[in-house]
Structure 1
Amino acid sequence: MRLTAFSDVSLRIMILLAGAEDKKLSTQTIAQGVGTPYNHVAKSVAFLANHGWVVATRGRAGGVVLSEAGKNVTVGHILRQTEGDIPMVECESEHGDCPLNSSCRLRGYLSRAREAFFEVLDPITISSLPTQRQMGPVFVELGLGPLSQTKKLTQAS
């Protein structure tokens, strides 16, 4: 299974914010931190805020921070929202045009495989993902200071 670019960016944003703990980051800083163009990050931040996983405030003292719900949301849940019901193969779409479509058993197997993929990710919370080894260089590059200032990040496992 391949994730959409939107899902990838959304997960990167959530991991970066989880690593930043309660620091407000500008959308521009987030874009730099996740290596993604600003407009893609802005779209993902709006989506994440709409779901209540981040709090985004505008203005001079504004920024984006992970909400309590965002700290506890699972990767599986996020991907179910960002991926939606995107068909894995043409026959799954409502406009699919496969001559083998009649009584095809593959669709059922693919649907179960997609759900199994999400189920593996269901117990993994966003706040459990960032590590010092992962986030340290990013924080220094963004000018957010050394990672020793954050309290909860664990060593890489």
Structure 2
Amino acid sequence: MRLSSRGEYALRALICLGSDGGRLVSISEIAEKTLVPINYLEQLLLQLKRNGYVQSKRGVHGGYKLSRSANDIVIGEVIRNLEGPLAPMGCVSITSYESCPLEAGCMLKPLWALVRDTVAELLDHTTLKDLLDGKVYSNQ
């Protein structure tokens, strides 16, 4: 899994929108609160809109807001939609498998599979509401 600034900044924007009680938030206010440049934020919000996480309204009193409940936005889904597979290596990816000539006897493959499963478990059991409430999933 490679988390780029795109994933990080998109999650910041979702947290910002989720903490504003459903009101429309201007892009300049989101940029100010998240420290994300407006030009980059516009691209991210468009992608989040296409993926069904946010909705927008144009005009003087326009802005962005969540299109779903924060409890229905799963962080693992958001990251996969923005960044791609969670697997650290292609040979253990469930959705984007890539073969490797060393795979048959590879002693690292079980480690990469465990990393994939652990990350997926955490992200797939964490919602935006959990983040807003300061609760991060733990199976312990």
2:39 alignment partner in structure 1: 39
1:126 to 125, 128, 131: 128
**What is the RMSD computed on CA atoms of the aligned residues?**
2.9
TM-score calculated relative to the size of structure 2: 0.74
CA 1:38/1:71 → structure 2, altered by over 3 Å: closer, same or farther?
Answer: farther
1:62 alignment partner in structure 2: 62
Give the Cα–Cα distance (whole angstroms) in 1 for the partners of residues 51 and 9 of structure 2.
15
Unpaired runs of at least 5, structure 1: 135-157
Counterpart residue type for residue 101 of structure 1:
L
- SS in structure 1 of the partner of residue 55 of structure 2: strand
From the CA coordinates, give the structure whose radius of gyration is larger: 1
Q: Following TM superposition, by how much is the alpha carbon of 1:3 offset from its aligned partner in structure 2, in angstroms? A: 1.8
CA deviation profile, 1:66-91 (whole Å, cap 9, x unmatched): 11255511112211222203773587
Q: Following TM superposition, by how much is the alpha carbon of 1:126 offset from its aligned partner in structure 2, in angstroms? A: 0.7
- SS in structure 1 of the partner of residue 15 of structure 2: helix
CA 1:84/1:108 → structure 2, altered by over 3 Å: closer, same or farther?
Answer: farther
Q: Following TM superposition, by how much is the alpha carbon of 1:102 offset from its aligned partner in structure 2, in angstroms? A: 5.0
Give the Cα–Cα distance (whole angstroms) in 1 for the partners of residues 108 and 43 of structure 2.
34
Q: Following TM superposition, by how much is the alpha carbon of 1:113 offset from its aligned partner in structure 2, in angstroms? A: 1.5
- Seq. identity, %: 28
Q: Which runs of 4+ in 1 moved over 6 A?
A: 90-94
Q: Following TM superposition, by how much is the alpha carbon of 1:116 offset from its aligned partner in structure 2, in angstroms? A: 2.0
CA deviation profile, 1:1-21 (whole Å, cap 9, x unmatched): 652111100110111111002
1:117 alignment partner in structure 2: 119
Contact kept in structure 1, 2:92 and 2:116, CA below 8 Å? no
Aligned length: 129
1:101 alignment partner in structure 2: 102
